[in-house]
Structure 1
Amino acid sequence: MNQGQPSKTAEWVARQRAVHQVRDQSRLVLQDPLAVRILSEDQRSKLLLSEDIHQEFYDQDMRAYMVARSRYAEDTLERAVAAGVRQYVLLGAGLDTFAYRNPFVDLRVFEVDHPATQAWKRERLASASIPIPEHLTFAPVDFESQTIEEGLRAVDFQWDQPALFCWLGVTYYLTLNAFQNTLAFLAARHPGSGLVLDYILDWEQLNEREQRTLERTSERVASLGEPFKTFFTPEQMQAQLTRAGFTGLEDIGSQGINARYFTHRTDGLALNNWVGRLVSAWRPVG
């Protein structure tokens, strides 16, 4: 993102989730009644008034992936809460709305993001009359000069308790060194902590249609000033997580995502040529 400016890709992702609520109501993968409300008035009007805007801005692969990865994170969170986790940290929260529809009464949510993006989000929340719940804490971090640890130490994060860290839509914008530094921080958290992330497959792992998808998506995010930087093979991602000390790894691509979230649909919504994968992993207990 551009220094001092809110993330443009955050709004792009938010539009995908909103389109899903309006276009795919027959069977929602992600139930998010706030997705449309948190958009700008201009985007909301386009979304609600014009069917053409869906085709102009969103292809099905992109929309399917964005709602599936949010659903995957929330499904993983449900399992973590059942295991006793009471802290949820969204790294690069953007316009994610989970904290404002959180069904877990004793779950603390921390949104870590750039101060400019958080200020922009809070304006959107106020404009949409979406209240900030007591269980939510904003942890602003200027990533040019601060670390995630510094941001969390400035708020009431409990270091002696486990947490689930949600790291979606971030890894591919980082250098490999920045990715590894953040992973090391997450791996040092309290036993029982977990991690959800996504990553983009290395070019050589893709077929011709998937390579075209990656080219198209790369051009789009680069035009927003937020280019992709880092890619992995599944073997490389597993090695990174294992070396850091994570266990219980799950890594699913398009086939697994479709089987979990897009079976028996009549509208064709699914991942066909997508290039991202979803991962969850855990810090061992004992």
Structure 2
Amino acid sequence: MQVGQPSRTAMAVAHARAYHQVADEPRVFTDPLAVRIIGESAVRSNEFDDGLDRDLARRRRLFIAARSRFADDVVAEAVAAGTDQVVILGAGLDTSAYRDPHPDVRFFEVDHPDTQAWKRRRLAETGIAIPPSLTFAPVDFEQSTLASGLASAGFDRARAAVFVWLGVTMYLTLPSIHDTLRYIADRGGATEVVFDYLYPAATATPEYGTAQRERADRVAAVGEPWLSYFTADRIRADLLDSGFARVEDRSAAQLLAVYGIGTTASPADSGPHLVRART
């Protein structure tokens, strides 16, 4: 990302969530704030989808919508069981905290200071109030750590928490991912994490492998390259080694099936996957 500017890939994800609200396709995820925060005139614009196959772009939007829906469902389930802390890692323009019906649950948004500053200006411009239950935790990982950023924000490591970490791991190095997973698992209270990852393009069919490599080239061209890939076996082993005890892994097609959406999404051994892991 460029200094003083929000992440362009985070903006693209926000565009996808917003366009999903108005597109002619099954509604997987409902977010009444998505269009407002992007702006109606910009909803259908996504620089990373320009010129790509429309069906592939639609499948990507469906996966982005479904992973947000799944994260909301996990948070709701955890809150019903007594959890009162939710951490959104790499929050971007995520709206979870602003749609939360549970005022006693504390939300922490962790992101780069520049992205957070832009988001706060955008919230003010659109009249979206910052709820008192939300705390921003700006973290520049070149100068600070997740642990120190959350500690400064008042996060209680001894209490149960849910971590939502969507659309981030592919931009991080393997050591950074492993450090984050160990930090999440090494806590006093019960912990859950929901995150997604990408399979290596080499494992995909020619169609999906070509599409994935083309998208990788596009995000790299704006200075936000994909750095890390996993297989289901590798991510499970890493999670168990980090201290998690239960791991659920779904491909894009399997995730959409949870919500009754049939799609010709990429095979189970390619493309994006969503994971729910618990200590």
Structure-2-length-normalised TM-score? 0.91
The equivalent of 1:177 in structure 2 is 175
Q: CA deviation at 1:5?
A: 3.1
Distance 2:50 2:100 in 1: 31
The equivalent of 1:2 in structure 2 is 2
Q: CA deviation at 1:156?
A: 1.7
Q: CA deviation at 1:270?
A: 6.3
Which residue type is aligned with residue 277 of structure 1?
H
CA contact (8 A) 2:252 2:274 kept: no
CA contact (8 A) 1:262 1:270 kept: no
Distance 1:258 1:35 in 2: 20
Map of 1:156-195 to 2, 5 A cutoff? 156-195=154-193
Q: CA deviation at 1:261?
A: 2.3
- The alpha-carbon distance between structure 1 residues 22 and 212, as it changes in their structure 2 partners (threshold 3 A), is same
- Listed one character per residue, the Cα deviations across residues 87-114 of structure 1 (whole Å, up to 9, x for unaligned) are 0000000000111111122211000011
Structure-1-length-normalised TM-score? 0.89
Residue 275 of structure 2 aligns to a residue whose secondary structure is: strand
Higher relative contact order (CA 8 A, sep 6+): 1
- Listed one character per residue, the Cα deviations across residues 197-250 of structure 1 (whole Å, up to 9, x for unaligned) are 100012333121220121121022112210000000100000000001101210
Distance 2:181 2:161 in 1: 14
Residue 164 of structure 1 aligns to a residue whose secondary structure is: strand
The equivalent of 2:35 in structure 1 is 36
The equivalent of 1:115 in structure 2 is 113
Q: Could you list the runs of 5+ residues in structure 1 that have no partner in the other structure?
A: none
Distance 2:210 2:164 in 1: 28
Q: Could you list the runs of 5+ residues in structure 2 that have no partner in the other structure?
A: none
The equivalent of 1:271 in structure 2 is 265
CA contact (8 A) 1:64 1:271 kept: no
Map of 1:236-251 to 2, 5 A cutoff? 236-251=234-249
Residue 65 of structure 2 aligns to a residue whose secondary structure is: helix
Distance 2:245 2:8 in 1: 34
The equivalent of 1:47 in structure 2 is 43
Map of 1:62-211 to 2, 5 A cutoff? 62-211=60-209
Residue 138 of structure 1 aligns to a residue whose secondary structure is: strand
Instruction: Decide which moves more: 139-148 or 3-12.
Output: 3-12
Distance 2:189 2:156 in 1: 13
RMSD: 2.1
- The alpha-carbon distance between structure 1 residues 190 and 60, as it changes in their structure 2 partners (threshold 3 A), is same
Which residue type is aligned with residue 14 of structure 1?
A
CA contact (8 A) 1:118 1:140 kept: yes
CA contact (8 A) 1:196 1:279 kept: yes
CA contact (8 A) 1:94 1:121 kept: yes
CA contact (8 A) 2:199 2:230 kept: yes
Which residue type is aligned with residue 196 of structure 1?
V
Q: CA deviation at 1:255?
A: 2.9
Distance 1:228 1:3 in 2: 19
- How many residues are paired up? 272
Instruction: Decide which moves more: 253-262 or 218-227.
Output: 253-262
Distance 1:174 1:154 in 2: 23
